Structure 1
Amino acid sequence: MGDVRAIVRDRRDRLGEGLLWSSRQNAVFWVDILGRRLNRLSLDSGDVDGWDMPDVIGWVIEREAGEGLIAGIGRSFARLSLDPVTVDVIVAPEATIEGNRFNDAKADAAGRIWAGSMPFNCDVPTGSFYRLDPDGTATQVDSGYTIANGPAMPPSGDFLLHTDTARDTIYRYPVHDDGSLGERRAFIEFEEGWGSPDGMTFDAEGGLWVACWGASCVTRFDPEGRLDRRIALPASQITNCTFAGERLDRMFVTSASDGVDEAQGGCLFEVDPGCRGLAPHRYAG
């Protein structure tokens, strides 16, 4: 457990994020937000290909039925097709907030997408938390985020986690059957030396894996939120993590090169987590 390798490719990401495992394609997708690019790693061949985007792109999620992906592009939820790249906006809940963008998102077992927005400059709490229902309706479920990050759903599905990296806090929300949320409470507050919580995902045992910005690692917390173990990485700005592969026992991790002079900053890494993850859900719309 803990072996690390950098994926060989001809570029590094300014701000890697938005990891997605696709069992349909046996591939890992991820984005370079500031580079305005969607990347794909084939687990069959090891090849990496990519597509330039017309705007910043925060994440992609597969659809349960139909081709293409759902993406957070700029300040919009959009249908994204590749080869050629076409973008069809579903709804733009922050069309008038010019300083904002989408940052990270996940789908839940009901086929809804939960996504956070944030200011480009990471400096004021103008970000919000949204739910995109299968009928294409977007609902603001919370606000006041400065760096919205890492929605994550546990195996039980009865709550979700969302992070404000600027506050070094992972929040927990109860989820009701109708998609409404209960009261937000702090679940994990990062201590000095832990870095700042970024993207995250649950494993099959209910453990929470968190990408630690500024701390060169991914960290696992047990189901009660207690620090369990860390895997060190050769880059400081770690941004997201996901399980992949047929057995969901391979972990891929994104990083950022923007603002740092590091040989492996902005690389995509594969690590051995020593456990299995959960298959991602798809959007039902």
Structure 2
Amino acid sequence: MSKVAISEPVSIWQLGAPLGEGPIWVERDQALWFVDIKSRKIHRLDPATGATRSWDAPGQVGFILPIEGGGFVAGLQTGLARFDERDGSFTAISAPEPDLPTNRLNDATVDPQGRLWFGSMDDGESDLTGAIYRLGSDGTCIKSTDHVAITNGPAVSPDGKTLYHVDTLVGVIHACDIQPDGTLANTREFVRIPNDEGHPDGPTVDSEGCVWVGLYNGWAVRRYSPAGELLEEVKFPVSAITKIAFGGPDGKTVFATTANKHIAPGDLAKQPHAGDLFRFEVSVAGQKNYLVREGV
């Protein structure tokens, strides 16, 4: 694996988001999209001009990912919906857990075949009711893992053969083999992070197959080799880093969402940039971001 040169993270959008999440670089408009779950907002940043725009969501929104042909899939508390940025409308696609009203959708990715993988979680962050799902070609949501309280990810390796997903409360990143039919096999522990080092949040995989993960209450982002070896750690001036995304013309600009939820008022005064969007530069690019093609 290459040794990564990393610049210091800097705040580029002072949002003070309670729970910034799900950054994704969208190639077709050369912009970064992300959400603020608790404020029920979708945000867009054009780094070339600095222009920003925001939309209201009809409920807590855990992620937003682009669809082939236009529009986005949004993960709402009630289920998957198509989001049209032109008029701000949401159209329901599928509800994976109609019997679990206290759950919400939390994080997602798209594999090289255009399949949407996403997670659910207990909104109270304690009950073992969350799971990882795959959106089938017929629009049904296929449960693919056992239940945990807080899922994060998933993320997929560049060859499309390995899926990583996070059990945040336990502190474990799991790896699974993706079978040709979309089922998961050979689930194993990839990395375990002690709680006193931070809780693993959203994972992202770079072009070398290394797994980057934000640490909630860990003041850092970490990079692990495909073998699970800790390679690099990027320190932040805020404690809760939720997820990163690679973007920019060469894929070497990293954007990081952060949060101020769960930070005590006295501690928050010491972290004036908690909840902001950050940026730093790296010498190894991210991998291509794929468009959702199946089930939408």
Q: Which amino acid aligns with 2:24?
A: L
Residues 31-42 of structure 1 correspond to what in structure 2 (within 5 A)?
A: 31-42=35-46
Q: Does residue 17 in structure 1 map to residue 24 in structure 2? A: no
Write out the 4+ residue segments of structure 1 that deviate beyond 2 Å after TM superposition: 191-194
Q: Are the aligned partners of 1:150 and 1:162 in contact in 2 as well (CA < 8 Å)?
A: yes
Q: Does residue 45 in structure 1 map to residue 49 in structure 2? A: yes
Report the equivalent of 1:118: 121
- Please give the secondary structure, in 1, of the residue aligned with 2:169: helix
Q: Which amino acid aligns with 2:21?
A: E
Instruction: State the 1:193 CA deviation.
Output: 4.3
Q: Which amino acid aligns with 2:276?
A: C
1:6 to 3, 11, 14: 11
Q: Are the aligned partners of 1:111 and 1:133 in contact in 2 as well (CA < 8 Å)?
A: no
Q: Does residue 273 in structure 1 map to residue 287 in structure 2? A: no
Instruction: State the 1:135 CA deviation.
Output: 3.1
Q: Which amino acid aligns with 1:222?
A: S
Q: Which amino acid aligns with 1:229?
A: E
Q: Which amino acid aligns with 2:277?
A: L
Q: Which amino acid aligns with 1:46?
A: G
Q: Which piece of structure 1 moves more, 51-60 or 83-92? A: 83-92
1:207 to 203, 206, 210: 210
Residues paired across the two proteins, number: 283
Residues 1-285 of structure 1 correspond to what in structure 2 (within 5 A)?
A: 1-9=6-14, 11-65=15-69, 67-191=70-194, 193-260=196-263, 261=268, 262-284=271-293, 285=296
CA–CA distance in 1 between the matches of 2:288 and 2:196? 31
Q: Are the aligned partners of 1:127 and 1:145 in contact in 2 as well (CA < 8 Å)?
A: yes
Q: Are the aligned partners of 1:117 and 1:145 in contact in 2 as well (CA < 8 Å)?
A: no
TM-score, with length taken from structure 1: 0.96
CA–CA distance in 1 between the matches of 2:175 and 2:210? 14
CA–CA distance in 2 between the matches of 1:194 and 1:24? 37
Gaps of 5+ in 1: none
CA pair 131-8 structure 1, distance change in 2 beyond 3 A:
closer
Q: Which piece of structure 1 moves more, 42-51 or 165-174? A: 42-51
Instruction: State the 1:192 CA deviation.
Output: 5.3
TM-score, with length taken from structure 2: 0.92
Q: Percent identity?
A: 33
